[in-house]
Amino acid sequence: MTPLRLHNTMSGKVEQFVPLEAGHVRMYTCGPTVHDYSHIGNFRTFLFEDLLRRVLLQQGYRVTQVMNLTDVEDRIIKKSAEHGQTIDEFTEQYIEAFFQDLDTLRIQRAEHYPRATQHIFEMVSLIERLTENRHTYVADGSTYFRISSFPRYGALAHLDVSGLKAGARVDVDEYGKDDPRDFVLWKARKPGEQSWETPLGAGRPGWHIECSAMSMQYLGEQLDIHAGGVDLIFPHHEDEIAQSEGATGKTFARYWLHAEHLQDATGEKMSKRLRNFSTVRDLLAEGYTPRAIRYALLTGAHYRSPLAFSTELLKAADSAVKRLDEFAVRLGSVGDAEAPAEIRDRWDESLRDDLNLPAAVGHLFEFIKAFNPRLESGKATAEERAGAMAMLRHANRILDVIEFPEAVDAEVEKLIAERQTARDRRDFARADEIRQQLLGMGIQLDDTREGTRWKRIR
């Protein structure tokens, strides 16, 4: 068996993955900024992290994953003030929506979701450590990281910062790659802004310090994997490295993984700023299923390639998911078996090759295509069908989009029971609604003297 290989942005190469502690992976994934609903571009990155997590688990590792919730930064401060709300009041609705969307897309939960506002003092202590190590200075009441004090600055983004003007500094949370300057760790209070009283003065943290402080608190001073979208490489992750390593003197993260962007149909990055985004909620309202959205974002392209979002992509995903469902139905109820080694190895090997899910899915559909004629002609033995089913289940531990017949059966039985209760209390409107819902699932009901029977009509 080949080992797991992952692309490391730091080296620019695909490397064999070896965690610091045998059998245990410590992983930090930058989470959403909860100033609004996350869009499906954000979810492309979160789904890539779900893929990474599931592959690590399938490789037999224990995983401790942290995803922060950025609930204090420029836009949040501005928007909550505009709404006359505290930060907590304003962000609550979006935090709740974020967790709902995670469930909709069947993204596995991380072990910890720390919030920035609940870790202000950990950030302050980290800044104090940086000050002891002579990496900071104060100007106009704000504390800055002096990047000339950290010679490795720019290593992740492969930047040349030698021509940098010393003392030039930046106060905003987001800025461009062509503008590396001393960045803010602690921002002095501005009138009308929510602030915290701390030994650094009244103010609030800059955006970058939260991830260094919280990763250290939950995962220790050194991580195995740090992940996010490519837009975070600079400045966010570069700044995280400076803050963490400037304080500890140790390598912060060993593997840096970055997902490419989801783009709109014209090739622009999907973003709030450009208003070219859709949310998960928008797509559900348009009638797309959660499974189609998950499948499209996960398998539409390898995570290191940009993916153009379109209705064709969603429609193709929808029909791929249906093909997988149908294959499961056709295999019928079969006993336990092992997946055939050849297809299983191809699938696993693709995933171990820097999480190449599109290739893995390609192999799976080839397998299905070759198997179907055997099913149709009745030549497939019970054992072969059981093997194919085992493969489908194996693939679904990563894909998580297939509805297996027995799961559908359970859902149908539940709805039929609910319909019976509605009829017993003479709520015929509800009973009829359930009949319609089942029809939508391709299930037809037949009320007989012995009770309600059902059959598939697709």
- For ligand AMP, the binding residues (CB under 6 A) are 30, 32-33, 38, 41-42, 44-45, 70, 228-229, 231-232, 259, 261-262, 269-271
- Kindly give the pairing relationship between strand 169-170 and strand 182-188: parallel
Cα separations in angstroms, 203 against 8, 77, 79, 140? 36, 12, 17, 12
Query: Which one of ligand AMP, Zn ion, none is in contact with 211 (Cβ closer than 5 to 8 A by kind)?
Result: Zn ion
Contact (Cβ atoms closer than 8 angstroms) between residue 46 and residue 280? no
How many helices (H) and strands (E) would you count in the chain?
14, 16
Our CB check for ligand AMP shows the closer of 119 and 269 to be 269
Q: Across-strand partners of 24?
A: 21, 62
Our CB check for Zn ion shows the closer of 30 and 105 to be 30
Query: Which one of Zn ion, ligand AMP, none is in contact with 42 (Cβ closer than 5 to 8 A by kind)?
Result: ligand AMP
- Centre a 10 Å sphere on the Cβ of residue 40 and count the other Cβ atoms it contains: 23
Does residue number 434 form part of the binding site for Zn ion (CB under 5 A)? Answer: no
CB 211 → Zn ion: shortest distance, Å?
3
Does residue number 30 form part of the binding site for Zn ion (CB under 5 A)? Answer: yes
Residue 426 — left, alpha, or beta (φ > 0 → left; ψ -120 to 50 → alpha)?
left
Query: Which one of Zn ion, ligand AMP, none is in contact with 254 (Cβ closer than 5 to 8 A by kind)?
Result: none
Query: Which one of ligand AMP, Zn ion, none is in contact with 45 (Cβ closer than 5 to 8 A by kind)?
Result: ligand AMP
Contact (Cβ atoms closer than 8 angstroms) between residue 145 and residue 182? yes
Stretch that binds Zn ion, among 24-32, 241-249, 309-317, 375-383 (CB under 5 A): 24-32
CB 70 → Zn ion: shortest distance, Å?
8
Those residues with Cβ within 8 angstroms of residue 261's Cβ, 6 or more apart along the chain or in another chain: 41, 44, 229, 230, 231, 269, 270, 306, 307
Task: Please state, in angstroms and rounded to a whole number, the distance separating the CA atoms of residues 448 and 167.
Answer: 83
Question: 206 to 225, contacts with Zn ion by CB under 5 A?
Answer: 211
CB 207 → ligand AMP: shortest distance, Å?
9
Q: Across-strand partners of 223?
A: 253
CB 229 → Zn ion: shortest distance, Å?
10
Our CB check for ligand AMP shows the closer of 42 and 222 to be 42
Our CB check for Zn ion shows the closer of 19 and 229 to be 229
